[in-house]
A and B are shown apart, each in its own frame.
Chain A
Amino acid sequence: MTSTDLNTYVTFGYLAWWVVYLIAFITTAKDSSILKLAFRILVVIWVVHTVAIGLRWVESYQMGIGHAPLSNLYESLVFFGWTIGLALIVARLRFGTDIVVLLGLPLVFLTMGSTFLLDHTIKPLIPALQSNWLVAHVITCFLGYASFAVSFVAAVMLLVARGSDYLGEHLPRAQVLDEIVYRSVLIGFPLLTVGIITGAAWADYAWGAYWSWDPKETWSLITWLVYSAFLHARLARGWAGRRSALLSVLGFVAVLFTYFGVNYLPGLHSYF
């Protein structure tokens, strides 16, 4: 079995598990043993996902062109799905909110599912990507993005709950959601910062310029500025609830544009 097959199984695993979890969530009481079991199964699927990434790494070495599986859009999407999965699991363990996982998981299987449309063959690394900075840069950026994704999911719930009393009753307390919105940004922001710094260090080493205002760099800075505004508004001006949730949504829009939108503009990151 190849890592590509494994990724396919993992994708459908997430989807199938999501349906089961949804049914369990609707029909059973909160904290039921079925929900707890369902969560454990999610962790197992995520572990298989981890194995698939490791397997792809091994396969590239068997082909004699060994490199970390972070070198093109297919591999980065698989890794993005993995980091979101990780962030959802951490959020569930920390806050005990199944619904965050339930609403966040579509992001994972949509990300994974979109890889079906892409070329999945393992290609050798082009000269520009042959650097150890690649691994540090990609891992920190995507972990940051995943934290922001969790914040976004909680922010959307918070905004929806405020708009409807019925939904408000069935969602976690606004205070808990607000906490998730904030704490996820608190984790994501330093990760994004380190991601930008490792990217700058790499650019300096490879091209002699740590900052070139290339569209992807600029958009990562825009993302950083939005979340920086989020933290200042929250910590110094006491923004919470709706206003801080809106900023979190705005920040995630910037994240998505940094990741996908920028590919339509020319620049240094054209291989992703």
Chain B
Amino acid sequence: MSEIASFFTSVKTTITLLFLLASASIVGTLVPQDTGLDQLRQTASPFMYRIMIILDLPTVFRSWWFILLLILLSLNLLACLIRRLSVIPAEWKGDSEKASFSFVISDPRPGSELKGVFTSALKRLLGAPSTVIGSGDGPGLVWVKHRVHLLGFPLIHAGIIVILLGGLVGLFYGFRGNIQIQEGGIGKEVVLSPSGEVRPLPFQIAVDKFTLTRYATGQPKEFRSDVRLIRDGKEALKGAILVNDPLTFEGISLYQSDYRLLGIKEVSLIFVGQGGQQSDLKVRPRETTDIPGASYRVRLHSVDPGTTAKGQGAEIVVERPGEEQQIVGVFRNEPAKLGDSEIRFVDYTPLYATGLQVARDPGAIVVWVGCGFLILGFFLTLFTNHRRLAIDMQTRAGSTQIRVYGRSRRLRREFREAVEKRIRSSLDKKEK
């Protein structure tokens, strides 16, 4: 039993686990993760393929042995934490006499007088003594500073455990998946990653519009999906989802992740009639449009995104009663003639499908609490310093034996030097 306990409380175990986790993580970045098994079978030799499958190398971070390492690390952390917590109360109270340095000096003055000398000599360094033991010529003085420093270690190590627990909560009670919804369409179920399982949502997502805005340089500036969330047939929430600006409803968050270009929503044209009068003309795929004031009927055939010097344009099918239908090209730099009238190209509106990431993770808040512990723990460890200093005095035959011993968590040498300098100089001063 004690061997098992010492295995889990050993720092050797910690260091070994840290290196094993680091090595496993390196493997996880070198072997492509989550690629299909077929692809893997094609690229690796049969022997390597078998090794990789046995060791779960294509899914290192979900493999049984990686999880086992994390569990071992958690147990190791927990054991060290418990052992550490058991000694904190004594140190908090200042009872622990553990010292990192000690020295003995003597002085002819009685302890009752030296008490005042030391108190004032150390006032600037440590403040007033927290405890004065005994009285008369054999008093003892104890200073304890920054006890809160003692909480640094437990906070840091508990923080890691809490973060791992948060991860576990997410694994069991959370989900994450993708959904692709065409503009004007409604999404009802997500494809979970990494399992690929399809899961129905408690609400429906209606995408009214997806907008891709670009900077003058052509770089994308904003991806935006305007959506309505529908619950039990009624609109429950209307809003926009942008990159770095998700929408949350009933604990489920929707994130803008990517988009697909599915086709053309409509093409805007201008029809110039015989008399020169202009009218807007919208042409949509699979939909025939009448040109107002003329006997033409038009339908979209195809769109040219600007492959030639004629610029962007569209091919449209033109019908006129009694005539054979014809396909006419309308380009930005080359309008089409239809008898005495003209059709000009203005613009086309792409039809997008927005790609949303859908996630619910009740473990995330636990993770953030753990991170808070970690940061607070580091702050206490770096910016506070627990110090304990004790001075015991014994007066015998006209001379006082002074034993000084103390302990500092950080900057030990500096603390020892500061204490020693002040005590020795306070004694020298008074003797002159």
Q: Do A and B come from one complex?
A: yes
Spot the interface stretch: A10-18, A28-36, A119-127. A119-127
Specify the chain A residue showing the minimal Cβ separation from B358. Answer: A208
Report which residue of A186, A210, A262 has the largest number of chain B beta carbons within 10 angstroms of its beta carbon: A210
Specify the chain A residue showing the minimal Cβ separation from B359. Answer: A208
Decide if B22 touches A197 in the complex (CB within 8 Å). Answer: no
Decide if B29 touches A218 in the complex (CB within 8 Å). Answer: yes
- The answer, among A189, A209, A222, for a CB contact under 8 Å with B26, is A222
Contacts of B246 in A (CB 8 A): 205-206, 208
Residues 246 to 272 of chain A near chain B (Cβ within 8 Å): 262, 265
Spot the interface stretch: B218-226, B288-296, B326-334, B418-426. B218-226
Decide yes or no whether A168 CB sits under 8 A from chain B. no
C-alpha gap A44/B401 in the complex (Å):
54
Decide if A186 touches B382 in the complex (CB within 8 Å). Answer: yes
C-alpha gap A236/B220 in the complex (Å):
51
Contacts of B368 in A (CB 8 A): 201
Decide if A65 touches B215 in the complex (CB within 8 Å). Answer: yes
Known: A126-B220, A131-B244, A207-B257. A225 touches B18 (CB 8 A): yes
Decide yes or no whether A229 CB sits under 8 A from chain B. yes
C-alpha gap A265/B28 in the complex (Å):
12
Size category of the binding interface on chain A: 35 or more
Decide if A222 touches B22 in the complex (CB within 8 Å). Answer: yes
- The answer, among A65, A126, A131, A190, for a CB contact under 8 Å with B382, is A190
Contacts of B378 in A (CB 8 A): 189-190, 193-194
C-alpha gap A194/B371 in the complex (Å):
9
Decide yes or no whether B61 CB sits under 8 A from chain A. yes
Contacts of A74 in B (CB 8 A): none
Report which residue of A128, A201, A225 has the largest number of chain B beta carbons within 10 angstroms of its beta carbon: A225
Decide if A222 touches B25 in the complex (CB within 8 Å). Answer: yes
Mostly, the A contact residues are helix
User: Within the complex, what minimum Cβ distance (angstroms) separates B386 from chain A?
Assistant: 15
Decide if A233 touches B357 in the complex (CB within 8 Å). Answer: no
Decide yes or no whether A215 CB sits under 8 A from chain B. yes
User: Within the complex, what minimum Cβ distance (angstroms) separates B378 from chain A?
Assistant: 4
- The answer, among A123, A204, A236, for a CB contact under 8 Å with B217, is A123
C-alpha gap A130/B257 in the complex (Å):
14
User: Within the complex, what minimum Cβ distance (angstroms) separates B166 from chain A?
Assistant: 9
Spot the interface stretch: B8-16, B113-121, B264-272. B8-16
Decide if B18 touches A128 in the complex (CB within 8 Å). Answer: no
Contacts of B61 in A (CB 8 A): 213
User: Within the complex, what minimum Cβ distance (angstroms) separates B364 from chain A?
Assistant: 6
Decide yes or no whether A219 CB sits under 8 A from chain B. yes
Specify the chain A residue showing the minimal Cβ separation from B62. Answer: A213
Decide yes or no whether B348 CB sits under 8 A from chain A. no
Decide yes or no whether A60 CB sits under 8 A from chain B. no
C-alpha gap A15/B25 in the complex (Å):
38
Report which residue of A127, A204, A237 has the largest number of chain B beta carbons within 10 angstroms of its beta carbon: A127
C-alpha gap A187/B26 in the complex (Å):
25
User: Within the complex, what minimum Cβ distance (angstroms) separates B134 from chain A?
Assistant: 36
Contacts of A229 in B (CB 8 A): 15, 18-19, 22
Decide if A228 touches B367 in the complex (CB within 8 Å). Answer: no
C-alpha gap A92/B359 in the complex (Å):
48
Decide if A210 touches B367 in the complex (CB within 8 Å). Answer: yes
Specify the chain B residue showing the minimal Cβ separation from A194. Answer: B375
Decide if A205 touches B244 in the complex (CB within 8 Å). Answer: yes
Known: A197-B375, A207-B357, A208-B357. A127 touches B222 (CB 8 A): yes
Decide yes or no whether B21 CB sits under 8 A from chain A. yes
Decide yes or no whether A176 CB sits under 8 A from chain B. no
Decide if A127 touches B255 in the complex (CB within 8 Å). Answer: no
C-alpha gap A262/B29 in the complex (Å):
9
Decide yes or no whether B374 CB sits under 8 A from chain A. yes
Known: A228-B18, A229-B15, A237-B15. A124 touches B219 (CB 8 A): yes
Contacts of B229 in A (CB 8 A): none
Known: A213-B33, A222-B22, A225-B19. A126 touches B219 (CB 8 A): yes
Known: A124-B219, A128-B244. A208 touches B361 (CB 8 A): yes
Residues 317 to 369 of chain B near chain A (Cβ within 8 Å): 357-359, 361, 364, 367-368
Specify the chain B residue showing the minimal Cβ separation from A254. Answer: B22
Decide yes or no whether A156 CB sits under 8 A from chain B. no
Contacts of A201 in B (CB 8 A): 368, 371
Contacts of A128 in B (CB 8 A): 243-244
Decide if A265 touches B29 in the complex (CB within 8 Å). Answer: yes
Contacts of A55 in B (CB 8 A): none
C-alpha gap A209/B367 in the complex (Å):
11
Decide if A208 touches B222 in the complex (CB within 8 Å). Answer: no
Contacts of B381 in A (CB 8 A): 190
Contacts of A130 in B (CB 8 A): 243-244
Contacts of B176 in A (CB 8 A): 208-209
Decide if B255 touches A218 in the complex (CB within 8 Å). Answer: no
Contacts of B11 in A (CB 8 A): 232-233, 236-237
Known: A124-B221, A127-B242. A208 touches B255 (CB 8 A): yes
Decide if A215 touches B371 in the complex (CB within 8 Å). Answer: no
Decide yes or no whether A107 CB sits under 8 A from chain B. no
- The answer, among A127, A194, A228, A237, for a CB contact under 8 Å with B223, is A127
Contacts of A236 in B (CB 8 A): 11, 14
Decide yes or no whether B112 CB sits under 8 A from chain A. no
Decide yes or no whether A89 CB sits under 8 A from chain B. no
Decide yes or no whether A171 CB sits under 8 A from chain B. no
C-alpha gap A158/B266 in the complex (Å):
70
- The answer, among A193, A211, A225, A237, for a CB contact under 8 Å with B22, is A225
Decide yes or no whether A221 CB sits under 8 A from chain B. yes
Decide yes or no whether B253 CB sits under 8 A from chain A. yes
Decide yes or no whether A226 CB sits under 8 A from chain B. yes
19 contacts between A and B (CB under 8 A): A190-B375, A194-B378, A204-B364, A206-B244, A206-B255, A207-B357, A208-B253, A211-B167, A213-B61, A218-B28, A219-B25, A222-B25, A222-B26, A225-B25, A228-B18, A229-B22, A232-B14, A237-B11, A237-B15
Q: Known pairs A128-B243, A197-B374. 11 more at Cβ < 8 A?
A: A128-B244, A131-B244, A190-B381, A194-B375, A209-B357, A210-B364, A221-B25, A225-B25, A232-B18, A236-B14, A237-B11
- Top 3 A-B pairs ranked by shortest CB distance? A208-B359, A127-B243, A236-B11
